[in-house]
Structure 1
Amino acid sequence: MRVLIHGINYAPEQIGIGKYTAEMAEWLAQRGHEVRMVTAPPYYPAWKVSKGHSSWQYQREHISGVDVWRCPLWVPAKPAAITRLMHLLSFTFSSFPMMLRQVVWRPDIVISIEPPLLCAPTAWITARLSGAKCWMHVQDFEIEAFFGLGFGSSVTLKRILTDLETCIMRRFDRVSTISQSMLNRLVSLHIPTKKAYLYPNWVDINLIRPNPEGRDMRTEWEFLPHHKIILYAGNIGKKQGLELILDAAEALSKTHPHAIFLLAGNGPVKEELIYAVKRRALSNIIFKPLQPLADLPAMLAMADIHLVIQKRGAADAVMPSKLTGILAAGGYSIITADADTELGRLVWNNPGIAELVEPENKDAFIKSIARMLDLTERFNRKARNFAVKHLAKDVILQDFERQLREIIGSS
């Protein structure tokens, strides 16, 4: 198959959508398919274009069997509602001619990754001009997340944008998403059930596992044997609501003096959090940059407790990618989500894989951490078993490949 993928995020981004898109593309290439990727220079989660890449030039690379075409991108220093829109528009316009250039290559299928939704029409046009099938994969419902996180409040505007989103999606031959509640939302948007497909994020259960080989990060980072490490790893952004960690660190500093909160990652509000930690003189919070992917297994295995934190309104719009790694590592985790969200149902339907706490409930969050700190066992067998059974990379991608062959064969 000739597979053309269009999306703003790609390797070497180590977390979020870029990680999964790159792993999908590289897996397909290893299976013998011809794969091209039209994307932007890497910038996430630091919101700064990585060294060796240009914000204003077109570039071409060959990465792990995938032909990668990078398009100019404007990246705001401090992303907000308007600057995010301009950011997405810059890629929408710069990638349009590059996508049209792929028409002569005659792909068999064109895959559009949302976000950004703005790029979906380009993918659809490219598919139609080249006689290819078109597939939209929704990693995050942008419009739902935008209003859920308080960026907008107009009911009329939300309805108009949702109608536009539905109109775009219905033009695709297949629309997939990463969780059952998100699949239900596709159906609620009147996407025909025969077009809707559950395509969850995965984890390499052979790479991320309990007791992996690799760096001894506890020793390298000078943690003592009696320290309890409470880890948040990933994007440090607005929708996470990580101020909750500062409140917990302050409350637990007296009752659990050996507890250390480790925040490993980058993002637009990291500097604000660092300033707040200094202002509040919190000595039990440590910041580290995002670690190389090769060191992720060792870092996850180092933690006694993992935190998956989101503000109310975000938990049903997206399934956090960090959770798959935590489960595969057999980690004990605390998830902030309402019971009627995808994350909430995941925990309720699979008792023991994690502990659920109401979003933005400081007291409940602190009590949950305190209870988990008293555990003597660091390996959560139920979490690991869930990952092996439901999230294994090869199982999910093999089914996806079968779906690709089926949709191409129906033409």
Structure 2
Amino acid sequence: MEFLLYSLNYKPELTGIGKYNGDLAQYLVDKKANVTVMTAPPYYPEWKVHEGFSNKFSAVNDSGVQILRSPLYVPKSVSTLKRLLHLSSFALSSGMRLLSNLRLKPHVVFLVQPTLFCAPITLLYCKLTGALSVMHIQDFEVDAMFGLGMGKQGLFQRVARYVESWLLQRFDVVSSISFSMLENARSKGVEEQKLLFFPNWSDTEFITPEVDGSSIRNDWGYFQDDKVILYSGNIGQKQGLEVVLDAAKHFQSDPKVKFLIIGSGAYADTLKMMASNMGLQNLQFKPLQPWEDIPAILSMADVHLVVQKKGAADAVLPSKLTNILSVGGHALVTAELHTELGKISEKYRNIYTLVEPENSKAFINALAQLITLDTRIPNLTARKYAIDNLNKDQVIDRFISDLYLHLEKNSEKLGNIHAK
């Protein structure tokens, strides 16, 4: 199979979409597929082009994956207007790059949302090459924008939602990472037979409860009887991490409760300044850590935080949760009951503790309960869920099989594969 992955994000980005794209591309290569990746220079979540990369057109082969990078505007501070310029700049530069590579003639073009801005050029490219068009939704960026109040209501919102629906309906396949997000796609007019469930995954053989995190715990200055409360990942506005600062302030009188935030992002400097102004001595910030250290870091934490604002959880399913579940972590998750996270918590009792977003009192009360548990004993419900539902090999193999079924339904596309 000739597979073209088209996305803003790709490895060596350590978090979120870039990490999953890197895993998928390498897995397909290992399965003897020819994979081309159309992407940008790595910039996320720091919102700064990574050292060793230039914000220019480039091409390189990495472990059998042909990576074509196109420049984009990376704002130092993120606003609604700057984000739109950021997304549209990538769509413009990568779109020109895409059309200049008609010779690739892929069997499948796998576009990852965000960004929806690349959808028109993707559909045109697939029309010209005969490729199967797949829209994979990691974030419903239009829903996220309006849900978080970043866009004005009224005519602009109606036009944005109409264009989104119109574009989604024209892809051969629309996949997403949760059943709630697939239901959302269905409500936007995507036909049932086009929908494909393709969740994010975890390397459940690498990230396990058996990994010993005591050495990192010691190196970072924590005692064995400390309760370490960990948030790890993107530090952005949609997370609503102010509630973590409120919790740190509440527990400041207890010397055994320590808060740790690992990550970076557009909101990181603001959050650090807020923590400093609050005089929080029990909160430590660290940058993103190497992937090989992640199992030990996750294992050493007593409580894991998955925090989002209201309006985000329906549009965005946090990728960090997969590895927390795989390590058997005790997690405190902010989401409303009607969301996918809420439905999972109801179906799998004790998989994690769920509280209402942006409710500091509920968040602190739930945290107070969690730190009384023996958190050295893994959460077996979480671990079993990860093994049964999030194993990387099983998830990607099922996706490949499902993709071939969709190719069979699109006989012209299937003929395209057999002819090459």
Same fold (TM over 0.5): yes
Supply the RMSD in Å over aligned alpha carbons.
1.2
Distance 1:243 1:54 in 2: 34
Post-superposition Cα deviations, 1:210-240, rounded to whole Å, max 9, x if no partner, equal: 1226782101112112211000000000000
The one of 341, 348, 351 aligned to 2:349: 351
1:6 and 2:6 aligned: yes
Whether contact under 8 Å (1:308, 1:335) holds in the other structure is yes
Distance 1:382 1:203 in 2: 16
Post-superposition Cα deviations, 1:138-170, rounded to whole Å, max 9, x if no partner, equal: 111010000001102313322211110111111
Distance 2:72 2:358 in 1: 34
1:135 and 2:144 aligned: no
Distance 1:288 1:319 in 2: 24
Distance 1:48 1:331 in 2: 31
Deviation at 1:406, TM superposition (A): 2.5
1:307 and 2:305 aligned: yes
Post-superposition Cα deviations, 1:236-291, rounded to whole Å, max 9, x if no partner, equal: 0000011111111111112x321100000001111111111121111000000001
Q: TM-score, normalised by structure 1?
A: 0.97
Q: Which amino acid aligns with 2:284?
A: I
Distance 2:155 2:92 in 1: 27
Whether contact under 8 Å (1:169, 1:191) holds in the other structure is yes
Distance 2:212 2:396 in 1: 26
3-state secondary structure, aligned to 1:234? strand
Distance 1:315 1:289 in 2: 25
The aligned length equals 409
Deviation at 1:68, TM superposition (A): 0.3
1:48 and 2:48 aligned: yes
1:26 and 2:26 aligned: yes
3-state secondary structure, aligned to 1:175? strand
Distance 2:183 2:147 in 1: 17
1:234 and 2:252 aligned: no
Runs of 4+ in 1 over 4 A off after TM superposition: none
The one of 315, 332, 335 aligned to 2:333: 335
| Cα distance, 1:130–1:350 mapped onto 2, change above 3 Å | same
3-state secondary structure, aligned to 2:193? coil
**Identity value in percent:** 43
Structure 2 partner of 1:192: 191
Structure 1 partner of 2:70: 71
Whether contact under 8 Å (1:178, 1:201) holds in the other structure is yes
Structure 2 partner of 1:246: 245
3-state secondary structure, aligned to 2:234? coil
Segments of 5+ residues of structure 1 without an aligned counterpart are none
Post-superposition Cα deviations, 1:186-232, rounded to whole Å, max 9, x if no partner, equal: 11111100001111111110111112267821011121122110000
Deviation at 1:320, TM superposition (A): 0.2
Segments of 5+ residues of structure 2 without an aligned counterpart are 413-420
Whether contact under 8 Å (1:179, 1:198) holds in the other structure is yes
3-state secondary structure, aligned to 2:284? strand
Distance 1:64 1:287 in 2: 34
Q: TM-score, normalised by structure 2?
A: 0.95
Matches within 5 A, 1:290-329: 290-329=288-327
3-state secondary structure, aligned to 1:265? strand
Post-superposition Cα deviations, 1:17-44, rounded to whole Å, max 9, x if no partner, equal: 1111111111111100000001000000
